[in-house]
Structure 1
């Protein structure tokens, strides 16, 4: 299934993308794509619905973040060896874990807003993992049982705040609008090999990132198991798993967003995002 949320900001309704590409309204069955709806039992109930009987949503409504009530937005840094190299940093021996504040989460096609005074706002296409079953100190062998599905994430980053103003990456990663998620969450059964997904990102039509999850250092099982030792992962929590090379910081000369650009990004089978960039 491809599950989504649509409608004005703060008033999103739950929906499902059918095989013809139409949005079907799920609000007669669930209140949101969140919490217990993302558990194995919750997803099984949605999978049992007759899709053709669900109301079709007219037009092209705004899409919100594909998951609601995200408690934790956990991010993994330097998880692609070639991106670590372009960043001038060593390949990590364990996952580099930081936070993106949940207040940064926006819809997949909402504007990205450059913070006041920023001169180093950057982009990162990433595979997002959506947790569906509480996970506390789980093994790698158990980890996938706790995954509801996957989505596209743009891990927008302000490099000065991330790297030059103290040692906390969190500061540069959680500005408002820095977490576009979606367009939909694709359930785990439809992504048999999350380590074999092409991923790309363009700015104003120029392709900067063109990679694959094949080159991740730590895979989905490893990351879920590792993070579950640091915290209890809950349904709706999102782990964004790192980016391939091609970020603005890695260009020669460096390229950062100034406002007015259009970012397009996508991952095979998980859909695409488009964001206009504007100054605060």
Structure 2
């Protein structure tokens, strides 16, 4: 099942996908471009991975991927919904998208064994974790302006049940800027796969239902300008649309 959230008629509604349309709780169907999208659920802690694809690390002239997961946190205001806008400050020279598979935790867990890791997953979503290269001081410690600006991370439109994604480690990820394909990768190329990330995080802290893990992006990032439409898509999970604006 694909589930999401929208703002409709002054109310926040939980919706589901039905035949390519948005099904309201009362059964009415709406086109996806007719609603105000929110992130597909109210997420709790948001973890984000840096340099989790070796080809992306090389693309950034980093040399090699980290020897253990490079993880940082995101605040709730960093998230926005499908078909919303993200702000490019006037003084920056390079702002790029990052198509990422989001992994949503389904239950409270600690010290998870690798063989049990997928049992902790409720579902998956598409995320686009924009980064402004100008603000980056250290890949191991990205400062707040890089990853925690308001609406810098579109998520959605749907949260897809884990049972409907039989092999999350073999999904094609693609991005388009103004209709031109600019990124084409696969989740199988992660340095640290989904079980490894859950094992790592749960080894020193409790993960809770509603926590979101953004698993990194492959090679192919490109500078995005004001007015650009950026589409990030993950096979079997969804297609996320976002537009770059010059206004916060």
Question: What TM-score do you get using the length of structure 2 for normalisation?
Answer: 0.91
Alignment correspondent of 2:160: 186
Deviations 1:156-207 (A, max 9, x none): 1111212369943443011111111111011000111001100101112222
Q: Provide the secondary structure at the position in 2 that maps to 1:257.
A: coil
Are 2:24 and 1:25 aligned?
yes
Alignment correspondent of 1:2: 2
Cα displacement (A) at 1:266? 0.3
Alignment correspondent of 1:147: 121
Q: Distance in 2 between matches of 1:58 and 1:274?
A: 17
Q: Which moved more, 1:134-143 or 1:239-248?
A: 134-143
Cα displacement (A) at 1:99? 1.6
Q: Say if 1:58 and 1:274 are closer, same or farther in 2 by CA, change over 3 A.
A: closer
Figure out how many residues of one structure are paired with residues of the other and give that number.
244
Task: Flag structure 1 segments of 5+ consecutive residues without an equivalent.
Answer: 27-53, 249-255
Considering fraction of residues, name the structure with more strand. Answer: 2
Q: Distance in 2 between matches of 1:177 and 1:134?
A: 27
Are 2:48 and 1:75 aligned?
yes
Task: Flag structure 2 segments of 5+ consecutive residues without an equivalent.
Answer: none
Are 2:71 and 1:97 aligned?
yes
Q: Distance in 1 between matches of 2:113 and 2:144?
A: 27
Q: Is the 8 A contact 1:6 1:63 kept in 2?
A: yes
Deviations 1:42-96 (A, max 9, x none): xxxxxxxxxxxx612334322211111x221100111111111111122211111
Alignment correspondent of 1:216: 190
Q: Provide the secondary structure at the position in 1 that maps to 2:83.
A: coil
Q: Say if 1:120 and 1:230 are closer, same or farther in 2 by CA, change over 3 A.
A: farther
CA RMSD of aligned residues (A): 2.1
Q: Distance in 2 between matches of 1:79 and 1:191?
A: 21
Q: Provide the secondary structure at the position in 1 that maps to 2:37.
A: coil
Cα displacement (A) at 1:113? 1.1
In the TM superposition, 1:220-259 aligns within 5 A as 220-248=194-222, 256-259=223-226
Q: Is the 8 A contact 1:5 1:12 kept in 2?
A: yes
Q: Distance in 2 between matches of 1:259 and 1:164?
A: 26
